Amino acid sequence: MDWHFKLSFAAFLVLAPTICTLTHGLTIISGTVFCDQCKDGQISLFDYPVSGIKVAMACPDGNGQLTTRGEETTNWLGTFNMRFDETSDLSNCFAQVSGSGQASGGACGAVSGPARPLKLMYNMFGMAMYAVDTLISQPVQPMSFCPSSSVPVPALVPVTPSPKLPSPPAFVPVTPPPTMPSPPAFVPVTPPPKVPSPPAFVPVTPPHKVPSPPALPILPPMPPFPFLEASACPYGKWMMPEYRCYWKVVSPDTKVGVVFGLLAARKYGMEMTLWEGLNGRGEAYKTLLREGTTALLNSYNSVQYPYNPLGVVERMNWALMAGSTRQVLHTALSFMKANYGFGHPASTCRFTSCTPN
């Protein structure tokens, strides 16, 4: 999976808490279209995301024939998102460039690249997220600045899946006729032995009165649901091994660019992970990444945290776009106050050890 899928998947994870309050059935298909300027069939330094390209999704019907289920146009970032107000299995469907719109990037929409299958990335709470490998759109001829060793790769045609053969009728075992049980053997009846007469009744002295058992202790109330409690933990708590089980939505190895978007990827690099971001200190942008990552983890852990996941990502991107050290430090300080529970009397770190004693 390349980083374009991860960016789409992270955006869906950020939007999921908001979407789940609006609908009970939702399917989103996301992907990116690149202009393959050298027509070599792969993404290189000469290629770029292209806008205004139409992408169609086709699925096999009952006869195995592909039928178009939806069509969408890429935005100015070269990405597309198809939305269906239902949850259905689209794992056998394909996505392919179908043409260019009015906002297409020049002649790059002349030739369509190969179709790509849909990959299920997320299916929970009545929502499903499918990602598509990077689609390509090509010009008629390679550009003049392309290397001479570039060999054009012909566009692949999606393979139509063969129709499913009807399954044979279920085997029904033949039950043999029941056998007649043989009559039981004759057993002579033995008269019962004589029962001895009971002994004479001897009055029993009643024992001492047994004290009544103590009253049972009152059971403690059931523990509350952690996600509904007000909880805010600083970055040091999230780095402790005994609290690693609270990393539920994202993992320590998730890339910063996948979670916070393209601006963060350009600022911190494509290989920077969330765990490395928590170790940042001594510089304004490193402090912003550390506190922003902590704020995102707290927003996933508690619904009463001051910021929701989308709000954390938006504030991070606004600070990066401003390019001002003062704005970066102001945003980092806002996240730090929320992470330490300032401004919310009930907010405290409610972590319990993940490992049994």
Share of the chain above pLDDT 90, in %: 35
- In this predicted model, what pLDDT tens digit does every residue of 62-90 receive, in sequence order? 888 888 888 999 998 889 999 888 888 88
pLDDT band at residue 157, thresholds of 50, 70 and 90? very low
CA-closest candidate to residue 305, choices 349, 256, 239: 349
- The helix (run of H) or strand (run of E) holding residue 110 is none
pLDDT band at residue 198, thresholds of 50, 70 and 90? low
> What does the pLDDT read at residue 1?
47
Domain assignment present for 85: yes
**Spatial CB neighbours of 253, under 8 Å, sequence gap ≥ 6:** 273, 274, 275
pLDDT band at residue 219, thresholds of 50, 70 and 90? very low
On whether both 13 and 134 belong to a single domain, the answer is yes
On whether both 134 and 23 belong to a single domain, the answer is yes
Here the tokens at position 120 are 């299920």
> What does the pLDDT read at residue 207?
60
Phi, psi of 250 (to 5 degrees): -125, 160
> How far lies 258's CA from each of 3, 204, 273, 323, in Å?
7, 84, 9, 21
On whether both 134 and 13 belong to a single domain, the answer is yes
Tell me whether residue 272 is exposed, middle or buried, using C-beta atoms within 10 angstroms of its C-beta: 0 to 12, 13 to 18, 19 or more. Answer: middle
> How far lies 295's CA from each of 130, 212, 227, 245, 250, in Å?
27, 56, 15, 17, 13
Domain assignment present for 344: no
Instruction: Assess contact for 284 and 332: CB atoms under 8 A.
Output: yes
> How far lies 264's CA from each of 10, 273, 295, in Å?
13, 11, 15
Residue at token pair 């069509």? 71
Highest mean pLDDT among 75-89, 160-174, 242-256: 242-256
Domain assignment present for 200: no
Instruction: Tell me: pLDDT of 274 over 60.
Output: yes
Domain that holds residue 281: 226-339
> Radius of gyration of the chain from Cα atoms?
33
Domain assignment present for 277: yes
Mean pLDDT of 240-253: 93
- In this predicted model, what pLDDT tens digit does every residue of 173-195 receive, in sequence order? 556 556 666 656 656 666 666 76
Instruction: Tell me: pLDDT of 13 over 70.
Output: no
Instruction: Tell me: pLDDT of 155 over 50.
Output: no
Helix (H, G, I), strand (E, B) or coil at 285: helix
CA-closest candidate to residue 122, choices 250, 257, 9: 9
Question: Pick from 90, 114, 138: which residue ends a domain?
Answer: 138
Here the tokens at position 212 are 């009544």
On whether both 24 and 126 belong to a single domain, the answer is yes
Mean pLDDT of 144-152: 68
- In this predicted model, what pLDDT tens digit does every residue of 21-38 receive, in sequence order? 444 578 889 999 999 888
> How far lies 38's CA from each of 133, 137, 156, 306, in Å?
19, 11, 16, 49
> What does the pLDDT read at residue 64?
81
> What does the pLDDT read at residue 279?
92
Question: Pick from 105, 138, 171: which residue ends a domain?
Answer: 138
> How far lies 221's CA from each of 224, 304, 351, in Å?
9, 22, 19
Q: What share of the chain is helix, strand, coil (3-state, %, to 5)?
A: 25, 20, 55
Q: Which residue has the higher pLDDT, 14 or 196?
A: 196
Domain assignment present for 148: no
Domain assignment present for 179: no
Mean pLDDT of 323-349: 86
The three-state (H, E, C) secondary structure of 161-212, written as one string: CCCCCCCCCCCCCCCCCCCCCCCCCCCCCCCCCCCCCCCCCCCCCCCCCCCC
| CATH number of the domain that residue 58 is part of | 2.60.40.1120
- Helices 3-19 & 309-322, crossing angle to 10 degrees? 130
Instruction: Tell me: pLDDT of 165 over 80.
Output: no
- In this predicted model, what pLDDT tens digit does every residue of 321-334 receive, in sequence order? 988 999 999 999 99
Mean pLDDT of 49-59: 91
**Predicted TM-score (pTM) of this structure:** 0.40
On whether both 11 and 128 belong to a single domain, the answer is yes
For residue 242, how many other CB atoms are within 10 A of its CB?
A: 12
Domain assignment present for 155: no
CA-closest candidate to residue 347, choices 319, 307, 291, 314: 307
Question: Mean pLDDT across the chain, nearest whole number?
Answer: 78
Instruction: Assess contact for 40 and 48: CB atoms under 8 A.
Output: no
Please count the structural domains in the chain.
Answer: 2
Instruction: Assess contact for 173 and 134: CB atoms under 8 A.
Output: no
Residue at token pair 């129709």? 163
On whether both 114 and 232 belong to a single domain, the answer is no
Q: Name residue 34's beta-bridge partners.
A: 49, 136
* DSSP-assigned letter for residue 223: P
CA-closest candidate to residue 53, choices 121, 99, 6: 99
Here the tokens at position 17 are 């808490």
Domain assignment present for 290: yes
Q: Which residue has the higher pLDDT, 256 or 113?
A: 256
Distance separating the N- and C-terminal Cα atoms of the chain: 39
Question: Pick from 87, 110, 138: which residue ends a domain?
Answer: 138
